[in-house]
A and B are shown apart, each in its own frame.
Chain A
Amino acid sequence: GESVGLHLPTLSVQEGDNSIINCAYSNSASDYFIWYKQESGKGPQFIIDIRSNMDKRQGQRVTVLLNKTVKHLSLQIAATQPGDSAVYFCAETSPFSGNTPLVFGKGTRLSVIA
Chain B
Amino acid sequence: KAGVTQTPRYLIKTRGQQVTLSCSPISGHRSVSWYQQTPGQGLQFLFEYFSETQRNKGNFPGRFSGRQFSNSRSEMNVSTLELGDSALYLCASSAGLAGGEQYFGPGTRLTVT
Which A residues have a C-beta under 8 Å from some C-beta of B? Answer: 2-7, 32, 34, 36, 41-46, 49, 89, 91, 93, 95-96, 98-107
Asked if B106 contacts A43 (CB within 8 A), the reply is yes
CA distance A75 to B33 in the complex (A): 25
27-42 of chain B: CB within 8 A of chain A: 31, 33, 35, 37, 39, 42
Let me know if B109 is at the binding interface, CB within 8 A.
Answer: yes
Asked if B106 contacts A95 (CB within 8 A), the reply is no
- The number of A-B residue pairs with CB atoms under 8 Å apart is 74
Let me know if B81 is at the binding interface, CB within 8 A.
Answer: no
By secondary structure, the B interface counts as strand
Q: Mark B56-90, 1 if CB is under 8 A from A, else 0.
A: 10100000000000000000000000000000101
Closest to A43 in B: B104
Which B residues have a C-beta under 8 Å from some C-beta of A? Answer: 4, 31, 33, 35, 37, 39, 42-45, 48, 55-56, 58, 88, 90, 92, 94, 96, 98-107, 109
Asked if A43 contacts B107 (CB within 8 A), the reply is yes
Asked if A100 contacts B39 (CB within 8 A), the reply is no
Residues on B with beta carbons closer than 8 Å to the beta carbon of A42: 106-107
Additional 5 contacts, C-beta under 8 A, given A4-B39, A43-B106, A104-B43: A2-B107, A7-B39, A43-B90, A49-B100, A102-B92
Residues on B with beta carbons closer than 8 Å to the beta carbon of A32: 100
Asked if B42 contacts A101 (CB within 8 A), the reply is no
A44 in contact with B104 given A93-B99, A100-B31 (CB within 8 Å): yes
CA distance A100 to B109 in the complex (A): 24
What's the nearest-Cβ distance from chain B to residue A52, in Å? Answer: 13
| A-B contact list, 9 entries, CB within 8 Å | A4-B37, A32-B100, A36-B104, A43-B106, A44-B104, A45-B104, A93-B100, A101-B45, A103-B45
